[in-house]
Structure formats: structure tokens, C-alpha cells
Amino acid sequence: MVQLYVGYRNPLITKPSRPLPRKVSVVGAGGIGPDIGYFFKNSLPEVELVFVDIIEEALKAAQNRIEAYVKKALSLGKMSSEKAEKVSSNITYTTDYSKIAGSDLVIEAVTEDLKIKQKVFEQVEAIVDEETILGSNTSAIPAARIFQVLKKPERATNVHFFAPAWRNPGLEITVWDKVEREIVDYLYWLFCQLGKAPILVDDVIGYVLSRVFDNWCNDAALLLEEGVATASEIDTVAQEFVVAGPFYVLNIAKGNPIIIKTNLLQMEEGEHYRPAKIFYSVETWKTVGPGGKVEVSPETVQKVRDRLLGVLFSQCCEAVDRGIALIDDIEFGCVVALAFRKGPFSIMRELGEAEFKRIMETYARERPGMPQPQHDFQYYQDFYRHILVDDLDGVKLVTIRRPHVLNALNDEVNSEILDLFRKFEADSSVKGFIIVGYGPSAFSAGADIGKFPEVLGNAEAAADYARRFSELFFHMDEMEKPVVAAVNGMALGGGLELAIRCHKIVAVRNAWFQFPEVTLGILPGVGGMVVPYRRWARGRKEVSEVFHEMVRFARRITAEEAYRIGMVSRLADDYPSLIKAALETVKELEGRVEKIPEGPVEIAELKPVEKPMAGDLVLSREVDQVICQAIKEAAAAQTLKEALEISFKAFGRVACLDAAREGIKAFMERRKPKFEK
């Protein structure tokens, strides 16, 4: 098996060997090519972009698509006019390959044909510099086959985007025997830095995610051929597991020819991968879109469900068994790239061992030859789903990897971090821990709404919900080994409450902190009304004023301001410098961990406000009154435990107010709340 990761799992820990690209070329202006180009311009507005195609009409269509994307982003307020001007400029659309000279990176996105791809790369190699990195967006063809024609194959590999490529964070990078590790590591860093969520995969046909998606679609088509269900019935059933069913996705991606090509290629591994005949005769499927449903009989639901889960588990377990990818990357990739609601191994866990075995036995009868799991049920369950763990000179670096939700916390994230602490806090070789967020923009954007709507109206259930969520925090309060928060971007709500429970906070200069809960009609109930005052406002009433404004009015503060008031101990210029600062801080705290101080805290007066505001949003007076009372009582409490209990009970009281119902409802409906009282 190929060793996929030689360095760190977190792509941004170390500085890369090369700078960000100044010039990127995309060969192939049809299909996914324009979206790849727009991804680069949107992420790096000043980059020079060249589109090359042999068809003028494709180039014109690409230009129209780019312009339409920019226009839409402007109309939705998602792009400034200044950025729009940069994104739209410095782009060349040409049939002349010589225009790619001087490119730092060339991405090929032509039709899925080996000979054509090889011809493209032979032309490209004759023009570009020796240091130029070459990548193919192929969805199935191994890099070893494509790049065997190159004189310098070591600077080339596959970079597989997923539609829509400008927005979908999924990306597979193949590791093959001739590519230089420096190239793989650079691409792994680059795409994460630009907002993607790359995974490294072995150089086999279809890698991982194409194998999953293409065979998911192929088995759906076989169900259709067999008369088990219609396309709309299959897509209806599939939406239990994915945002959109296979036939709907095939329609928007014009994916039928791709399934044919990739599955014909995969037939090298067996006849069972032969594409369904119906793909050759249908151009568009009659089906339902996301959220759309038709009536499906229970018997049909069972048959479709068993088949779809069977092929999902077949492909994912085989990828683990063959070492095509790491199990956590497969789980992660299915969610971020393929829009599964939960990862395949989490679905497996929820079904349980007996049901998993039944489904796979059924699948073996219906689809003889398709891969079956080679290990027992538990083998596919023992891994962290939401965190990455790296070892840095005796320190465990914990990366919260949920970039698709800005690294939001949930019960399982907390449980995984707690499990790691318990495993290593007694290990003498481990000096301490660092917690950081995945990617360049978010430490953690808060806590998932999760089951909170279920406890609205029930004060005791809501308070208990906060207590249970705090299990990790309680443990951190008692730890003897240092835990440092490395805040790499926004730290909001529950994410900020995690950071303030760490023994020290270091942050990048562009990070920011906020308790936005009051804008949802609730309050920061797992430490936000307690810990900042005890840690940083003791004997400093002016600092307590800052925390009053943060909790009551959702005021955001910058890392620079947090540093001035002592909340942040060190500032860093970039992600690698941040990790270095965190590492140094852990070592400084060895044997000198400072617990959250006990005893009452004298705070600034909490003045009543007739019309509390967060920006232009009118807040709930009732919620503000509960917050003020809780802050006062918690500050007067003798112990941290008593203060936190006051906070939990306040959370319970707020959960019974109309404001909480309105705030949560508005959040789920993606609208601005209207608080009446």
C-alpha cells in the first residue's frame, strides 16, 4: 500500500516550499473547466488566469459563465465591487497554447479520454517551465497512465474537483509512485489554503469518491432497469442519506456519459462494474429535486434502501481494505464532496452490526462479484470522524475538521476531543495539547443547533442539555497538562466557549471573537457568562464592560483587542506561526497550568436598556434581563461550579421564552428574527 500521508494531516501546519500561484491555466473551457477557473479567481482575485480550448464557442461560453457568476455574487451581496473587478480582469480566453507560458499551475479539464489527455499534456510540457505543476481533473483515470508520456512526470498528479467546482469543497489528490512528495504536499496545502478540503488518495481507477458516486448511480440505474422503482422513487428514498438523489445529480452534471466511461474503465476489476444499459439510451431522467418526494410503497423503500446502502458500504469498505484512502478521509469526503448527510461509517454505526450484515448479505445475492467488507463491523468504527491528530514535538495538535460548517462543535466533536485527552493526559511523553480549526478562516463558528429545538419550552431539559454539552469543558477545568487554543479565524458562540476554557489563547491577527447567541434569542450558557469575567476581568472593571457588551449585544472583538485586554496571550501573522506560538505556549505552561480562579468577581454595573440592539437587529428585552441577572449572580458565586450552574439554569429559563422559539425558527428558516418582547 502507498503511504498517503508522510507529513502532517493538517495541511496548514508548515509553510510550503512555493508561494501562492501567480498564474494559473485551465485547459478545457467546457464542462467543469470554467468552474475550476472561477474557483481560482474567487480565491485569488489577482491571479492571472488563462483558459485554453480548441473551440471558440466553448471559450465564449466560459467567459459568459464567469461573468454570470460575478454578477450573481454582486447582486447577492457576496462580493464587493472592488473584488468583482479583480475577479473579472486578467483573464485570457484563447485557442493558442503558447499563452500558458509562465504558468505556475496548469489544470487539464478536457474530456475523459486517455489519449486526448496525454496529447494535451505533451503540448503543455513543451511550453511551460520545468517548475510548473501539472494537474489533471480526471475523475477516474490513474495518474500513472496519463503522465507516462511526460519527460518530467514527477511534477504532475491528478487533482479531482467536484461539481460545482467553484463552490464544492471536495478535492482528491492522487499519490503515485513518480510524483515528488513536495508537489503533493504543496497541492495539499494550496487547496486547503484556498478553501478546499483536500484528501490524499491512492492512484487506482476512480480513486475513492468517484468509485462511491459512480457505483451509487450505477446501482440506482440497475434498480430502474430491473423494474424495482422509478427514478423519482429512487431519488425520494435516496434523500434519507444525501441532499439530492442520484438521478437528479446526473441531470445537473450531465453525468450519464461519465458513468459509462468510468465504469467501463473500472471493469478492469471485474464484469460486475459494467455500466447499466439504460445509460446509453437516456439523456435526462424524470425525477424529483432536493426536498421533492413521491409516494413510495414500504416494500419498494426497503428494496431501494438496501441496494443503495449495499453499494455505499461495498465501495467504502473496499477503499479502507485496499488502503485507497484513510477511513476518516472517506467518511469526510462523502459528506463534503458528495453531500451525504452523514458519513457512510456513521450510517453503518446507526444501523448496528446485525442490520449491516443483513444489508451486505442481501447485496451479495443481488450483486455477485461486488466487493464485500473484509473485516468485522467494529474495524470500520474505531476512528475519529471530526478531528485530526498530529504530533508536534511531544504535543498533540487537535484539528477540528468540519470546514463545511465552519468547524462547528457538536456532541461528537466534544466527545472525540475528550477521548483524546483521556488517552494521553497520563502519558509522560505528551507535554500538552493544542486545539485549532481546519482551514484558514474558522476556529469554530459555534455549536450545531443539534437537538436544542427539542428542549425549547422545557427549562430543566435545556439546562441539562447545557450540562451534558459541558462534559469536555469540565474535564479541561481539572487538567494538569496545558491545553492551548490556537484561534485561526472566527471563534463564535460555543467555539469561543471552547477557546476560553483552554489554559491560554493564541490567535492570528485577523481572528475575531463573538457571542452571537443573543441574536438567536438565547444566551452563551456553557461558560460565556462566567469564565471571561473570572479569567480576565478580576480587578479590571473596564474589561468586564467589554464582556458585558459581547454577551448582551453580540459585540465582536478583534484579536488585537482581545490581546490588549489579556484574553489572547500571543498574536501570530499566519497559520504556521500560530502553531509555533501555540507550541511554545504549551511548553511555557508545562507544570504551571493556571486554573480558572475561584471566588466572587467585582464587575461593572449592568445598566438596563430599553431597546437592546445588535447592529440593526432589535434584541429581546426578556433575554437581556435573564442575561444580566445570570452575570450578576455568577460573578457573586463563591465557586466556578456554582457560577456555571447559574449559567445552565439561565439557559433553561431562556429556552422557555418566545424569543428562543423565534430566534431558532428564524435561524432554521434563514431569515432575520423579530423579537416582540
Q: What is the pLDDT of residue 306?
A: 98
What's the CATH number where 232 sits? 1.10.1040.50
Same domain for 150 and 30, yes or no, is: yes
Question: Which of the residues are catalytic?
Answer: 497, 517
Kind of pairing between the strands at 387-392 and 483-487: unpaired
pLDDT at 454: 87
Residues 658-663, mean pLDDT to the nearest whole number: 94
Residue 301 is assigned to a structural domain of this protein: yes
Whether residue 217 sits in one domain with residue 238: yes
Of 360, 380, 400, which residue constitutes the final position of a domain?
380
On whether residue 16 sits in a domain, the answer given is no
Q: Clarify whether residues 358 and 248 are in a common domain.
A: yes
Same domain, 358 and 305: yes
Domain end residue (candidates: 356, 380, 404): 380
DSSP-assigned letters across all residues of 105-159? EEEE---S-HHHHHHHHHHHHTTS-TT-EEEE--SSS-HHHHGGG-S-GGGEEEE
Torsion of CA 26, 27, 30, 35, to 10 degrees: -10
Q: Is residue 674 included in any domain, yes or no?
A: no
In a domain, 5, yes or no: no
The C-alpha torsion from 310 through 269 and 165 to 53, rounded to 10°, is: -150
φ/ψ bin of 452: left (φ > 0), alpha (ψ from -120 to 50), beta (otherwise): alpha
Residue pair 252/103 in contact by the 8 Å Cβ criterion: no
DSSP code at position 409: B
Residues 375 and 397 both lie in one domain: no
CATH number of the domain where residue 190 is located = 3.40.50.720
Task: Tell me phi and psi for residue 306, to 5 degrees.
Answer: -60, -40
Answer yes or no: are the C-beta atoms of 272 and 364 closer than 8 Å. no
- pLDDT of res. 610: 87
Sheet order of strands, 442-444 included = 442-444, 490-492, 512-514, 557-558
Please spell the DSSP secondary structure of 69-106, one letter per residue: HHHHHHHTTSS-HHHHHHHHSSEEEES-GGGGTT-SEE
What CATH number is associated with residue 565? 3.90.226.10
Looking at the structure, do residues 195 and 277 belong to the same domain, yes or no? no
Residues 215 and 164 in one domain: no
**Is residue 1 included in any domain, yes or no?**
no
Domain that holds residue 615: 387-668
Give residue 532's pLDDT band: very low, low, confident or very high (50, 70, 90). Answer: very high
Which pLDDT band holds residue 597 (cuts at 50, 70, 90)? very high
Task: Kindly report, residue by residue over 153-205, the tens digit of the pLDDT.
Answer: 999 999 999 999 999 999 999 999 999 999 999 999 999 999 999 999 999 99
pLDDT tens digits, residue range 325-375? 999 999 999 999 999 999 999 999 999 999 999 999 999 999 999 999 999
* Residue range 208-239, pLDDT digits in tens: 999 999 999 999 999 999 999 999 999 999 99
Q: Are 549 and 555 contacting, i.e. CB atoms less than 8 angstroms apart?
A: yes
pLDDT digits (tens, 9 = 90+) for 537-591: 999 999 999 999 999 999 999 999 999 999 999 999 999 999 999 999 999 999 9
Residue the block writes with cell 510548473 = 132
Considering the domain boundaries, does residue 13 fall inside one?
no
Same domain, 372 and 402: no
pLDDT in the model for residue 448: 87
Say if residue 338 is in the same domain as residue 440.
no
Domain end: 168, 202, 236, which one? 202
Does residue 7 sit within a domain?
A: no
Residue 8 lies in a domain: no
What was the pLDDT predicted at 463?
Answer: 95
* 56 and 106 fall within a common domain: yes
Mean pLDDT of the chain: 96
**Residue 450 above 80 pLDDT?**
no
Question: Do 222 and 192 belong together in one domain?
Answer: no
| Sequence-distant (≥ 6) Cβ neighbours of residue 616 within 8 angstroms | none
Over residues 626-645, the pLDDT tens digits come to 999 999 999 999 999 999 99
The tally of domains found in the chain comes to: 3
367 and 419 belong to one structural domain? no
